[in-house]
């Protein structure tokens, strides 16, 4: 352990400098989600299950959109490292158009698909509330995508502080709005489950206003935005963004759809199992979102060193972030084991739900380390602009192993909700192993042969 600290001491410091504001903003968001679930949990197991179902479906679109915006940080950081400042404005402009169009398509698709919820084998009471939740959530994707565009641009230029400020401010708004509209407080109408989504819509709109105002007063960021000409576009830049963003979206889709599928399978077992699944997933998301800070740090640093053609630092940037995440997640793993009987009490007091949730936290404790490593390895590869093979890896991990094991273990082998999480655990282990191996081999070849990324990718498949 001492030798690891000595080897990556400087990298650990640089990673944390970039990651800490992202971690803080993500922790703020998770705090909001936690409070939202606690608020909804007070309405009963049916309401909590409805949020689980609604989130399982909405998260698919949310994550795909996030994946598209993730094309921007490596492009911006690479251009910044290479000193090609004119490209930064071009990347921002074209990315903003792509992201806005995606948000409009998402709204149309979700609203058109609401009647399909009746045919998913879910409890009718749960479906009724989930429809209301999804209606307002659909509209919130528009401000969410606009915010992510500015956030991704800022993080690509290694400024992670402004997005953190905007996120924290938005999170405070979210808590206030959700409290008001769920329970009918502060003069607002009582909307129950739908109020949680409506409050998020208002909060996300506020986040857009906040981050724009902050950037207008930050010269090094606003300089690339203020003179953007939205009347002229280059198809090749659209293609570059989509070639990077769509595979990234697919990677995230395969993972989130596995977790969304897990929520659906849990609902097929029963509403108590679905409510318990929501509790365990919500707690697990706290630790996962902390990992995304170091994951984004690896994207930024790898992309920047790629632009500088410093392949040794490039490799250290990625590996050090994975090591840090592994150590952090080991601590959370122990915490979940020790507190498995107490953490679910935060949400609900139903004995049946509590018993199942406690058991699921054991599975969550086991997959903490591979979950953190796989998202960091995936982000490091994104910094290399290597997205096609990682997409195949995530497809195989979750669709060939994760989802099938969850389905058959839960519904055919009698393991119930525990079988659902067994499949998730297997998928994460496979994904983490293969993605880490790919980054190590690619970066090592770049050092040994001192060749371009494209040549390295073509020579090495898995």
> What digits encode the pLDDT tens for the residues 317-333?
999 999 999 999 999 99
Whether residue 53 has pLDDT greater than 50: yes
Q: What is d(CA 224, CA 203) in angstroms, rounded to the nearest whole number? A: 27
Mean residue pLDDT across the chain: 86
**Residue bearing tokens 């650990």:** 12
Does residue 282 or residue 435 have the better pLDDT?
A: 435
Whether residue 166 has pLDDT greater than 50: yes
Question: How big, in percent rounded to 5, are the helix, strand and coil portions of the chain?
Answer: 85, 0, 15
From the number of C-beta atoms within 10 Å of its C-beta (0-12, 13-18, 19+), residue 362 rates as middle
From the number of C-beta atoms within 10 Å of its C-beta (0-12, 13-18, 19+), residue 217 rates as exposed
Specify whether the CB–CB gap between 106 and 63 falls below 8 A.
no
Q: What are the pLDDT digits (tens) for 366-425? A: 989 999 999 999 999 988 989 889 999 999 999 999 999 999 998 888 888 899 989 999
Instruction: Give 402's DSSP letter.
Output: I
Whether residue 434 has pLDDT greater than 70: yes
Instruction: Give 42's DSSP letter.
Output: T
Whether residue 31 has pLDDT greater than 80: no
Task: Count CB-CB contacts under 10 A for residue 179.
Answer: 19
Percent of the chain with pLDDT over 70: 94
Backbone angles phi, psi at 350, to 5 degrees: -70, 120
DSSP string computed for 361-413 = HHHHHHHHHHHHHHHHHHHHHHHTT--HHHHHHHHIIIIIIIHHHHHHHHHTS
Q: What is the mean pLDDT of residues 295-313?
A: 87
Task: Count CB-CB contacts under 10 A for residue 176.
Answer: 16
pLDDT at position 396: 95
pLDDT at position 205: 94
**DSSP-based three-state secondary structure for 226:** coil
Read off the pLDDT band of 131 (50, 70, 90): confident
pLDDT at position 180: 92
Q: What is the mean pLDDT of residues 33-38?
A: 70
Q: What is d(CA 208, CA 215) in angstroms, rounded to the nearest whole number? A: 11
Does residue 7 or residue 208 have the better pLDDT?
A: 208
pLDDT at position 458: 45
Q: What are the pLDDT digits (tens) for 197-251? A: 898 899 999 999 999 999 999 888 888 888 788 888 899 999 999 988 889 888 8
Percent of the chain with pLDDT over 90: 35
Read off the pLDDT band of 79 (50, 70, 90): confident
Q: In 3D, which of 152, 192, 148 has the Cα closest to residue 170?
A: 148
Whether residue 141 has pLDDT greater than 60: yes
- Name residues whose C-beta falls within 8 Å of residue 449's C-beta, 6 or more positions apart in sequence: 455, 456
pLDDT at position 97: 94
Tokens of 436: 């880490």
Read off the pLDDT band of 60 (50, 70, 90): confident
Q: What is d(CA 370, CA 367) in angstroms, rounded to the nearest whole number? A: 6
- Name residues whose C-beta falls within 8 Å of residue 59's C-beta, 6 or more positions apart in sequence: 256, 259, 260
Read off the pLDDT band of 130 (50, 70, 90): confident
Chain centroid offset of residue 186 CA: 32
Q: What is d(CA 440, CA 419) in angstroms, rounded to the nearest whole number? A: 32
pLDDT at position 93: 92
End-to-end CA gap in the chain: 29
Q: What is the mean pLDDT of residues 435-454?
A: 84
Q: What are the pLDDT digits (tens) for 84-115? A: 888 888 999 999 999 999 999 999 999 998 88
Q: In 3D, which of 35, 30, 41, 31 has the Cα closest to residue 347?
A: 41
pLDDT at position 462: 44
Read off the pLDDT band of 459 (50, 70, 90): very low
Specify whether the CB–CB gap between 94 and 237 falls below 8 A.
yes
Q: What is the mean pLDDT of residues 277-293?
A: 81
Task: Find the helix packing angle between 124-156 and 271-308, rounded to 10°.
Answer: 10
Tokens of 405: 């094991």
Tokens of 55: 């989130």
Q: What is d(CA 295, CA 413) in angstroms, rounded to the nearest whole number? A: 36
**DSSP-based three-state secondary structure for 67:** helix
pLDDT at position 461: 45
């Amino acid at each position: 352990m001492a030798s690891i600290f000595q080897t990556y001491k400087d990298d650990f410091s640089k990673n944390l400098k970039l990651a800490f504001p992202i971690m803080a903003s993500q922790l703020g968001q998770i705090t909001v989600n936690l409070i939202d679930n606690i608020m909804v949990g007070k309405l009963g197991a049916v309401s909590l299950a409805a949020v689980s179902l609604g989130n399982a479906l909405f998260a698919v679109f949310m994550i795909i959109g996030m994946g598209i915006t993730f094309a921007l940080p490596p492009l911006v950081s690479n251009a910044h490292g290479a000193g090609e400042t004119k490209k930064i404005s071009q990347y921002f402009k074209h990315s903003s158009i792509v992201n806005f169009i995606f948000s409009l398509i998402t709204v149309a698709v979700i609203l058109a698909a609401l009647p399909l919820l009746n045919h998913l084998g879910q409890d009718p009471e749960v479906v009724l509330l989930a429809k209301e939740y999804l209606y307002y959530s659909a509209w919130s994707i528009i401000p969410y995508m606009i915010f992510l565009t500015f956030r991704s641009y800022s993080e690509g230029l290694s400024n992670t502080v402004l997005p953190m400020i905007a996120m924290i401010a938005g999170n405070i708004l979210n808590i206030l709005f959700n409290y008001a509209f769920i329970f009918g407080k502060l003069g607002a109408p009582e909307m129950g489950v739908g109020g949680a989504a409506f409050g998020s819509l208002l909060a996300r709109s506020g986040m857009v206003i906040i981050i724009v105002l902050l950037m207008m007063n930050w010269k090094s960021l606003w300089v690339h935005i203020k003179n953007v000409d939205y009347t002229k576009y280059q198809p090749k830049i659209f293609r570059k963004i989509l070639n990077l963003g769509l595979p990234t979206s697919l990677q995230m889709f395969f993972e989130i759809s596995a977790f969304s599928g897990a929520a659906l399978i849990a609902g097929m077992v029963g509403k108590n199992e679905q409510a318990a699944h929501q509790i365990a997933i919500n707690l697990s998301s706290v630790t996962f979102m902390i990992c995304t800070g170091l994951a984004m740090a690896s994207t930024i640093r790898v992309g920047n060193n790629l632009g500088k053609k410093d392949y040794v630092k490039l490799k250290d940037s990625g590996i050090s972030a994975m090591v840090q995440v592994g150590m952090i997640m080991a601590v959370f793993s122990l915490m979940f084991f020790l507190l498995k009987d107490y953490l679910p009490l935060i949400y609900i007091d139903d004995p049946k739900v509590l018993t199942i949730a406690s058991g699921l936290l054991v599975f969550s404790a086991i997959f903490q380390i591979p979950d953190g490593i796989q998202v960091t390895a995936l982000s490091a590869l994104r910094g290399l602009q290597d997205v096609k093979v990682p997409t195949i890896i995530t497809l195989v991990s979750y669709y060939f192993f994760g989802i099938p094991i969850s389905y058959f273990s839960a519904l055919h082998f009698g393991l119930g909700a525990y079988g659902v999480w067994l499949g998730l655990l297997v998928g994460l282990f496979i994904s983490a192993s293969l993605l880490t191996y790919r980054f190590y081999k690619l970066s090592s070849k770049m050092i040994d042969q001192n060749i371009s990324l494209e040549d390295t990718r073509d020579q090495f498949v898995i």
